[in-house]
């Protein structure tokens, strides 16, 4: 990271001098300096009229936003590969000025004005006393400030953000982020990030004809999402290490937490709030985002349309049968009906399975039969109705819709939408129409790659500064491929509808015991076994391969209690945590359904010597990130309590994912001590001394176990067996792995202790400094005194920093 910062510095220095030389050469009056004095101005016509912060990172000037349209902006100086820049602020985003005669000036009265030929377009009027002198400075933080001679700030751009917060720029009750309209149109869009009247930081859709909150999830109480309404200070700020904290207790750390890369928190045009880090090669990577499934962002596809989300492709928009895309250049306008319908017309209902339109129903009617629901819909002149089985009621609920918005199709949703169409409408058994987006237009959507980070070992190339911006390489044509299984005149078949329902807003599915029995062919193929249960491979009804775990817990725990815990686990979402797809709680059976990992556990791979140094390092870092997320970043504080190679699984690319978390008692972040563990958990060899000495159980027990896993990975020696040693008198015994490694480090041959403890199976193609760093980290983690161990995010930082 330090290296990267240096590169940035060098590159910007070089870039700056190039600019200056260029301007001198062209004989232009360049103002490539960080300030603009009172009485002077920056002109749109002179490309050299740009302020550059003294560290070279930021530039301020007129930026072209369209044909002959300019906005006074601040941007990251270094361009992206396509020549565009990453803008962080705009003065006049909704009123661009002409490319002729427009300018920004500081008047003698300390007013900043932007003029377009004649009229004043934008103004900051900070008149203090007459004759006081001021100048506009572009600071290294990206803040543009109007300061007096004694450094008194009269005005600063940090006080009026557009769609981006920079590190150190607070958001408070008078400020809000407003998204851009589209990727290419920077004027104010429909999404906002703001402190609501109840002091909670929220993302809000403020469309032309509708307004709704979509983050935090409005179907779950704020309190259950870790927010508080009682702190009215309403401030939030991102710091330079990637830690964001807000007065409503919302906080997170970037996945690359630590001082180093430049970061920005941007409310993107698609309504998602993302934290970006500028990585070594000048590419912006997403290191946190508010919504992992962008179909849950309200207004994603416009009214009457249905969004479906594919993690590989992002969201796709489409129209239901009988509807067509309204504006072929823009999904914001959604779909419109191809028919006219009045309340008294004869109608049919088309059945759309797994489709949910969020909100806009007259009533939530419990225990309704299908015929009753249909009647309610017809009587209320509805557009459609949603009919869904709720196991907790043991009955169906009925929602009659007066608008079709926030449409979302996902296979784990068991409800069905019945869409009203005129009887005369010719849809019977015709192939479903496909409405494609015109690919030549600019309506493209960003790929949602959560936590996708490049782990670069390549030498840095300062010339490739901004090789690409995230998403630009990943342009895609959004088009619709909807295959609606609709049949007409058929009343719903209860047996097909009970096969799973969505636990409100947790996004995962309930399975029946018989479904899982069938999926695993009678619990036939065992792929793992541990303290909490046996894991089987299975194929779910939708052909996905899953790992199905039968828990050993006695069923005295009620289903509600079980569900409460499981839904918390199901909400954890991180690339280094195994994903839970669903559960089963039926009679005495308790099962969990997880994604299946092709390469099995770290334990198996260590045994078969299939891991070289690079993979082991990746596994060490990935596992640390997963655990750091569990400990510190997610809404509920989760201790793993059984970190060991059997619980670290590897996907097809050998990326690690931690499994089996959350099965230990969930701890509340507020409780200072992790009390509440009645019985010892964990595995011999990996357990921290606290268990033995009956000390408070905190996150530090996981750190200890993680340290042991690192040692095992590096030495290839099993901690549960220990290391056989021979004493000076020829006596033989087994030494604890960490004691052995520490002994080697302190021992006589201390200069080559690393080589002495290494697993020969790892090969020789390793970086000794990185390796030594990793062993040092492992030794710190296995300190006997828990106060001496680092936290998991410090571990991540140490590992990432130690990388070359
Ligand atoms: C951006 O969108 C707004 C509203 O649709 C429109 O008025 C404006 O002309 C657009 N600007 C550009 C540069 O396309
Ligand atoms: C700025 O404020 C001063 C004093 O408040 C006022 O006299 C002046 O007219 C204002 N200028 C503009 C452009 O509004
Ligand atoms: C104002 O800030 C500049 C740069 O930080 C510093 O050099 C200067 O001494 C400061 N002036 C006063 C009056 O504090
Ligand atoms: C929502 O948008 C309308 C205009 O479209 C605007 O008047 C209103 O202030 C906006 N609300 C918020 C909270 O930004
Ligand atoms: C409210 O939030 C602010 C800012 O995050 C914090 O400094 C303060 O301690 C909080 N107050 C309470 C009572 O928690
Ligand atoms: C649903 O309604 C039927 C009759 O209307 C009644 O017999 C049944 O007990 C109700 N079920 C629930 C769960 O309320
Ligand atoms: C796609 O859009 C472009 C520009 O908006 C237009 O010229 C072209 O005819 C459109 N193609 C189709 C198939 O609609």
Neighbours of 531 (CB within 10 A): 12
Atom 11, ligand 1: residue with shortest CA distance = 185
Tell me the CA–centroid distance for residue 609 and ligand 7, in Å: 56
Atom 10, ligand 4: residue with shortest CA distance = 206
Tell me the CA–centroid distance for residue 69 and ligand 2, in Å: 27
From-to residues of CATH 1.10.510.10 in the chain = 602-803
The one-character DSSP state at 291 is -
Residue 150 Cβ < 6 Å to ligand 3: yes
pTM: 0.57
The residue behind tokens 């690409």 is: 468
Predicted confidence at residue 459, as pLDDT, reads: 26
Taking the alpha carbons of 367, 373, 376, 377 in that order, is the dihedral positive or negative? positive
Residue 233 Cβ < 6 Å to ligand 5: yes
Tell the CATH superfamily of the 509-595 domain.
Phosphorylase Kinase; domain 1 (3.30.200.20)
Tell me the CA–centroid distance for residue 280 and ligand 6, in Å: 63
Q: Is 642 a catalytic residue?
A: yes
Atom 6, ligand 6: residue with shortest CA distance = 367
Tell me the CA–centroid distance for residue 470 and ligand 7, in Å: 26
The one-character DSSP state at 631 is I
User: Which residues have CB under 8 Å from 63's CB, separation 6+?
Assistant: 70, 71, 72, 73, 75, 85, 87, 90
Residue 151 Cβ < 6 Å to ligand 3: yes
Tell me the CA–centroid distance for residue 395 and ligand 6, in Å: 8
Atom of ligand 4 nearest to the CA of 206: 1
Residue 66 Cβ < 6 Å to ligand 1: yes
Taking the alpha carbons of 453, 458, 463, 464 in that order, is the dihedral positive or negative? negative
Atom 6, ligand 7: residue with shortest CA distance = 440
Please compute, for residue 656, the number of CA atoms within 13 A of its CA located in the half-sphere on the CB side: 27
| Residues with pLDDT less than 70, the chain | 1-32, 81-82, 127-131, 280-282, 309-314, 412, 427-508, 531, 553-561, 564-565, 568, 633-638, 662-681, 748-750, 804
Atom of ligand 3 nearest to the CA of 151: 1
Domain 306-439+480-496, CATH class in plain words: alpha beta
Which residue in 116, 268, 642, 702 is the catalytic one?
Answer: 642
Q: Ligand 4 pocket by C-beta < 6 Å: which residues? A: 192, 206, 208
| Tokens standing for residue 152 | 């008194």
Residue 367 Cβ < 6 Å to ligand 6: yes
Determine which helix (DSSP H) or strand (DSSP E) holds 602, and give its type and residue range.
helix 602-607
Atom 9, ligand 6: residue with shortest CA distance = 367
CATH architecture of 1-160: Orthogonal Prism (2.90)
Atom of ligand 1 nearest to the CA of 69: 13
What is d(CA 598, CA 785) in angstroms, rounded to the nearest whole number? Answer: 38
What is the per-residue pLDDT across 468-512, written as a single tens digit (0 to 9) for each? 222 222 322 222 222 232 332 333 333 222 222 233 333 468 888
* Ligand in closest contact with the CA of 479: 7
Predicted confidence at residue 633, as pLDDT, reads: 63
CATH architecture of 602-803: Orthogonal Bundle (1.10)
Atom 3, ligand 7: residue with shortest CA distance = 440
The contacts found for 629-633 with CB under 8 angstroms, 24 or more apart, are: 629/255, 629/572, 629/574, 629/576, 629/577, 630/572, 630/577, 630/658, 630/661, 630/662, 630/702, 630/792, 631/699, 631/702, 631/791, 631/792, 631/793, 632/253, 632/791, 632/792, 632/793, 633/252, 633/253, 633/574
Whether residue 465 contacts residue 78, with contact meaning beta carbons closer than 8 Å, is answered with: yes
Residue 123 Cβ < 6 Å to ligand 2: yes
Residue 115 Cβ < 6 Å to ligand 2: no
Atom 1, ligand 3: residue with shortest CA distance = 151
Q: Whats the size of the chain, residue-wise?
A: 804
From-to residues of CATH 2.90.10.10 in the chain = 1-160
Predicted confidence at residue 489, as pLDDT, reads: 30
* Ligand in closest contact with the CA of 135: 3
Residue 211 Cβ < 6 Å to ligand 5: no
* Ligand in closest contact with the CA of 368: 6
Predicted confidence at residue 660, as pLDDT, reads: 82
* Ligand in closest contact with the CA of 365: 6
Predicted confidence at residue 708, as pLDDT, reads: 95
Predicted confidence at residue 465, as pLDDT, reads: 28
Predicted confidence at residue 666, as pLDDT, reads: 33
What is d(CA 278, CA 261) in angstroms, rounded to the nearest whole number? Answer: 5
Was 549 annotated as part of a binding site? yes
From-to residues of CATH 3.50.4.10 in the chain = 306-439+480-496
- The helix/strand/coil state of 10 is helix
């Amino acid at each position: 990271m330090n290296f990267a910062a240096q590169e940035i510095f060098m590159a910007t220095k070089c870039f700056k001098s190039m600019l200056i030389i260029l301007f001198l050469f062209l004989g232009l009056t360049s103002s490539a300096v960080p300030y603009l004095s009172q009485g002077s101005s920056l002109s749109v016509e002179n490309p050299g009229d740009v302020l550059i912060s003294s560290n070279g990172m930021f530039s301020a000037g007129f930026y072209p936003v369209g044909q002959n349209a300019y906005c006074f902006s601040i941007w990251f100086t270094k361009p992206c590969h396509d020549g565009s820049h990453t803008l962080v602020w705009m003065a006049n985003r909704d009123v661009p000025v002409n490319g002729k005669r427009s300018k920004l000036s500081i008047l003698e009265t300390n007013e900043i004005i932007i003029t377009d030929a004649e009229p004043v377009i934008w103004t900051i009027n900070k008149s203090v006393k007459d004759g006081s002198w001021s100048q506009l400075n572009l600071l290294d933080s990206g803040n543009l400030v109007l300061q007096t001679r004694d450094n008194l700030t009269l005005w600063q751009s940090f006080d009026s953000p557009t769609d981006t917060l920079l590190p150190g720029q607070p958001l408070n009750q008078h400020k809000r982020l407003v998204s851009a309209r589209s990727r290419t149109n920077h004027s104010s869009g429909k999404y906002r990030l703001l402190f609501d009247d109840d002091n909670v930081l929220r993302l809000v859709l403020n469309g032309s004809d509708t307004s709704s909150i979509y983050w935090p999830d409005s179907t779950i109480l704020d309190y259950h999402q870790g927010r508080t309404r009682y702190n009215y200070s309403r401030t939030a700020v991102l710091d330079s290490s990637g830690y964001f904290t807000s007065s409503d207790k919302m906080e997170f750390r970037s996945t690359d937490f630590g001082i180093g890369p430049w970061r920005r928190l941007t409310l993107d045009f698609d309504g998602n709030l993302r934290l970006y880090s500028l990585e070594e090669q000048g590419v912006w990577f997403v290191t946190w985002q508010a919504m992992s499934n962008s179909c849950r962002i309200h207004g994603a596809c416009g009214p009457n349309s249905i969004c479906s989300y594919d993690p590989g492709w992002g969201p796709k928009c489409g129209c239901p049968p009988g509807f067509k895309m309204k504006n072929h250049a823009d999904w914001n306008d959604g779909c419109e009906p191809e028919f006219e319908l009045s309340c008294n017309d004869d109608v049919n209902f088309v059945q759309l399975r797994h489709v949910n339109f969020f909100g806009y129903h007259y009533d939530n009617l419990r225990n309704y039969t299908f015929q009753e629901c249909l009647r309610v819909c017809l009587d209320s002149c509805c557009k459609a109705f949603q009919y869904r089985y709720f196991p907790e009621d043991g009955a169906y609920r009925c929602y009659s819709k007066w608008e079709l918005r926030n449409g979302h199709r996902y296979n784990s949703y068991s409800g069905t939408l019945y869409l009203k169409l005129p009887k005369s409408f010719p849809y019977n058994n015709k192939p479903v129409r496909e409405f494609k987006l015109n690919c030549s237009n600019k309506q493209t959507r960003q790929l949602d790659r959560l936590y996708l980070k490049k782990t670069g070992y390549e030498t840095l190339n300062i010339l490739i500064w901004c090789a690409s911006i995230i998403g630009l390489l990943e342009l895609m044509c959004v088009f619709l491929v909807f295959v609606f299984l609709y049949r007409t005149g058929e009343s719903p078949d209860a047996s097909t509808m009970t096969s799973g329902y969505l636990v409100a807003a947790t996004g995962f599915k309930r399975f029946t015991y018989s479904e899982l029995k069938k999926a695993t062919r009678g619990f036939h193929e065992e792929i793992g076994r541990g303290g909490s249960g046996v894991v089987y491979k299975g194929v779910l009804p939708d052909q996905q391969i899953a790992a199905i775990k039968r828990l050993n817990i006695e069923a005295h725990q009620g289903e509600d209690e079980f569900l409460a815990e499981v839904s918390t686990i199901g909400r954890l979402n991180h690339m280094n945590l195994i994903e839970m797809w669903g559960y089963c709680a039926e009679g005495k059976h308790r099962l969990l359904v997880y994604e299946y990992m092709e390469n099995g556990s770290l334990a198996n791979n260590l045994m078969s010597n299939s891991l070289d140094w690079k993979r082991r390092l990746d596994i060490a870092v990935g596992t640390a990130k997963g655990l750091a997320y569990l400990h510190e970043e997610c809404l509920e504080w989760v201790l793993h309590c059984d970190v060991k190679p059997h619980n670290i699984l590897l996907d097809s690319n050998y990326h690690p994912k931690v499994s089996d978390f959350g099965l230990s008692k969930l701890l509340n972040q507020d409780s200072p001590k992790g009390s509440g563990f009645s019985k010892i958990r964990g595995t011999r060899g990996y357990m921290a001394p606290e268990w033995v000495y009956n000390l408070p159980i905190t996150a530090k027990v996981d750190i200890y176990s993680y340290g042991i896993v690192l040692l095992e990975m590096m030495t290839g020696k099993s901690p549960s067996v220990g290391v056989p040693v021979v004493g000076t008198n020829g006596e033989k015994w087994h030494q604890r792995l960490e004691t052995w490694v520490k002994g080697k480090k302190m021992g006589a041959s201390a200069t080559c202790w690393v080589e002495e403890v290494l697993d020969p199976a790892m090969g020789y193609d390793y970086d000794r400094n990185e390796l030594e760093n990793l062993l040092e980290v492992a030794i710190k983690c296995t300190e006997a005194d828990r106060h001496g161990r680092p936290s998991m995010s410090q571990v991540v930082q140490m590992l990432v920093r130690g990388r070359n």
